């Protein structure tokens, strides 16, 4: 690796990053903190670095203090961990000031965490992104030794999406027919195509999402994990998408994949699900009342963005609605707080610490469907007294009072997401 190449990359970042137009996303930073941002590819992690750089410039820092390096750059493909110090050498050869360091997709360099630890020990301020949840894993956390704050980055929430569309909502927006209509119109696109920042600006959204999935599939799944049976992995992803509302066991997925003529064993499926989680493409919820062994092997799996899920579905409104509810909750609660509940009854989402239960139901117009969703909450209330019970629908809104004292709020999802 030549130092001159790194110097060129540093200068390029200093030239173009101040000029990037950004929609500012909410993120608080400790004044001298070091950060690791983790999330699925294209979710906006790089923009979080750009946002922080522009914020520091507004606070009085000079652009020549900024060192931004994107390790997806093809000029750095052959770089090794022992060469990372060349970044500091390239900067110090033309600058006397102490740099502020921004490293994008650094997980491409095996052993990067030792370099990051040394920088923190030497009191550099460092900001890092990666598309691999293993960056938050125990081994790396041990190496970094508490020297970094970790932050999960997601595609835009609906509230951010509304802001990006420049729709200003006051506290009483739902009482305005014009604002309500604008929110519902924008929600239709968000519901189908998700919140990846770049999807805003493309007309052929489904094509863009397919291309993104292929990048994730080959770069973050196949190549990174040395997957040999690509067909089995593809079918596993497809079956997970089709089963997004249902708890499903690894051996069940294996059988579904085998039914297409592709050989795939349950332990292989378990590995594939782990790869998808590491790539931040899916997250999983356990059954609150299941045995420990079942908690680990029978889970509900959701996609981190509705747009990614939708490319696998032909008529999936119910799946998309529940998946979007799961995303909204997952952004607020980790997997030690958020569960589903299945034991004689089934409730989609259960927050035991908050004594809250949530059903996702596209429509309650069908009487049998309405009774099933309501009765599940009533029965759960008898076992686990609830402080709040909700049914999230596509458009319906009402309040249901039951004889046992339980009040069930029925809310349209576009309104719930903005609370």
Same domain, 117 and 212: no
When pLDDT is cut at 50, 70 and 90, the band that residue 137 belongs to is low
Same domain, 107 and 208: no
> Mean of the pLDDT values across residues 41-49?
92
In percent, the amount of the chain with pLDDT more than 90 equals 73
Our measurement of the distance from residue 108's CA atom to the centroid of its chain's CA atoms, rounded to an integer in Å, reads 20
Residue 335's nearest CA partner among 300, 373, 383, 293 is: 300
| CB neighbour list of residue 51: distance below 8 Å, 6 or more residues apart | 22, 24, 25, 27
When pLDDT is cut at 50, 70 and 90, the band that residue 217 belongs to is very high
**Number of domains the chain is built from:** 2
Same domain, 208 and 295: yes
Our measurement of the distance from residue 212's CA atom to the centroid of its chain's CA atoms, rounded to an integer in Å, reads 14
Question: What pLDDT sits at residue 141?
Answer: 66
Same domain, 206 and 95: no
Residue 39's nearest CA partner among 327, 231, 329 is: 327
Give the end of a domain, one of 152, 185, 208: 152
Residue 53 CA to residue 59 CA, distance in Å, equals: 10
Give the range of the structural domain holding residue 144, as residue numbers without chain letter: 3-152
Question: What pLDDT sits at residue 315?
Answer: 82
Contact 72, 108 (CB under 8 A): yes
- Predicted TM-score of the model (pTM): 0.92
Question: What pLDDT sits at residue 139?
Answer: 57
Instruction: Give 212-238 as a DSSP string.
Output: HHHHIIIIIIIIHHT-S-HHHHHHHHH
313 in a structural domain: yes
Same domain, 362 and 286: yes
> Mean of the pLDDT values across residues 196-221?
94
Residue 169 CA to residue 163 CA, distance in Å, equals: 9
Q: Angle at CA 103, nearest 5°, toward 101 and 107?
A: 145
CATH code of 89's domain: 3.40.50.300
Residue 380 CA to residue 378 CA, distance in Å, equals: 6
Residue 319 CA to residue 21 CA, distance in Å, equals: 34
Contact 103, 84 (CB under 8 A): no
Strand partners, 339: 350
pLDDT in tens, 276-288: 999 999 999 999 9
63 in a structural domain: yes
| CB neighbour list of residue 231: distance below 8 Å, 6 or more residues apart | 262
In percent, the amount of the chain with pLDDT more than 70 equals 98
Show the beta-strand stretches assigned E in 352-406. 356-360, 388-393, 398-401
174 in a structural domain: no
Q: Decide if pLDDT at 168 tops 90.
A: no
pLDDT in tens, 370-391: 999 999 999 999 999 999 999 9
Task: Work out the mean pLDDT of the chain and round it to a whole number.
Answer: 92
Quote the tokens at residue 390: 């909700």
Same domain, 230 and 378: yes
Q: What is the DSSP letter of 272?
A: H
Same domain, 114 and 209: no
Same domain, 238 and 344: yes
Question: What pLDDT sits at residue 289?
Answer: 94
Question: What pLDDT sits at residue 3?
Answer: 87
Strand partners, 391: 359, 410
Q: Decide if pLDDT at 133 tops 80.
A: no
180 in a structural domain: no
185 in a structural domain: no
Same domain, 36 and 130: yes
Pairing mode of beta strands 356-360, 345-351: antiparallel
Question: What pLDDT sits at residue 102?
Answer: 97
157 in a structural domain: no
Q: Decide if pLDDT at 224 tops 80.
A: yes
Residue listed under structure tokens 């920042």? 197
Residue 1 CA to residue 75 CA, distance in Å, equals: 9
CATH code of 345's domain: 1.10.10.10
Same domain, 206 and 132: no
Question: What pLDDT sits at residue 140?
Answer: 67
Same domain, 378 and 279: yes
pLDDT in tens, 287-307: 999 988 788 889 999 999 999
Question: What pLDDT sits at residue 138?
Answer: 57
Please tell me whether residue 186 adopts helix, strand or coil conformation: helix
Same domain, 220 and 124: no
222 in a structural domain: yes
Instruction: Kindly report each contact of residues 274-278 with a partner whose C-beta sits within 8 Å and lies 24 or more positions away, as own/partner.
Output: 275/221, 275/224, 275/225, 275/227, 275/233, 276/221, 276/237, 276/240, 277/133, 278/132, 278/133, 278/134, 278/220, 278/225
23 in a structural domain: yes
């Amino acid at each position: 690796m030549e130092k001159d190449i790194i110097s060129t990359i540093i200068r390029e970042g200093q030239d173009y990053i101040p000029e990037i137009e950004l929609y500012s996303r909410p993120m608080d930073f400790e004044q001298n903190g070091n950060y690791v941002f983790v999330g699925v590819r294209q979710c906006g992690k790089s923009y979080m670095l750009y946002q922080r750089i522009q914020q520091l410039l507004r606070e009085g820092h000079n652009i020549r203090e900024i060192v931004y390096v994107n390790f997806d750059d093809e000029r750095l493909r052959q770089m090794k961990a022992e060469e990372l110090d060349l970044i500091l050498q390239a900067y110090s050869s033309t600058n006397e000031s102490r740099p502020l360091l921004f490293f994008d997709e650094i997980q491409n360099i095996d052993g990067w965490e030792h370099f990051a630890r040394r920088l923190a020990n030497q009191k550099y301020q460092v900001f890092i992104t990666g598309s691999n949840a293993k960056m938050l894993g125990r081994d790396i956390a041990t190496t970094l030794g508490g020297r970094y704050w970790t932050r999960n980055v997601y595609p835009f929430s609906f509230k951010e999406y509304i802001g990006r569309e420049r729709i200003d909502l006051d506290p009483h927006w739902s009482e305005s027919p014009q604002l309500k209509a604008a929110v519902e119109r924008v929600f239709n696109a968000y519901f189908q195509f998700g919140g990846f920042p770049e999807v805003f600006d493309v007309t052929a959204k489904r094509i863009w999402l397919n291309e993104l999935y292929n990048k994730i599939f080959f770069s973050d799944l196949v190549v990174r994990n040395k997957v040999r049976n690509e067909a089995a992995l593809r079918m596993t992803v497809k079956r997970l998408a089709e089963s997004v509302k249902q708890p499903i066991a690894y051996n069940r997925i294996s059988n579904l994949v085998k039914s297409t003529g592709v050989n795939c064993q349950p332990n292989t499926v378990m590995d594939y699900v782990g790869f998808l989680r590491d790539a931040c493409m899916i997250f999983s919820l356990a059954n609150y009342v299941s045995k420990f062994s079942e908690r680990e092997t029978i889970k509900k799996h959701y996609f981190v963005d509705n747009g990614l899920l939708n490319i696998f579905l032909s008529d999936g409104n119910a799946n998309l609605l529940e998946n979007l509810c799961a995303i909204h909750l997952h952004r607020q609660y980790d997997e030690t707080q958020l569960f589903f509940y299945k034991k004689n009854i089934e409730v989609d989402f259960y927050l035991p610490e908050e004594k809250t239960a949530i059903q996702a139901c596209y429509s309650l117009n069908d009487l049998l469907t309405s009774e099933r969703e309501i009765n599940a909450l009533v029965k759960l209330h008898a076992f686990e007294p609830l402080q709040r019970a909700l049914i999230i629908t596509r458009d319906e809104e009402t309040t249901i009072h039951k004889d046992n004292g339980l009040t069930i709020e029925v809310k349209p999802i576009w309104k719930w997401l903005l609370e």
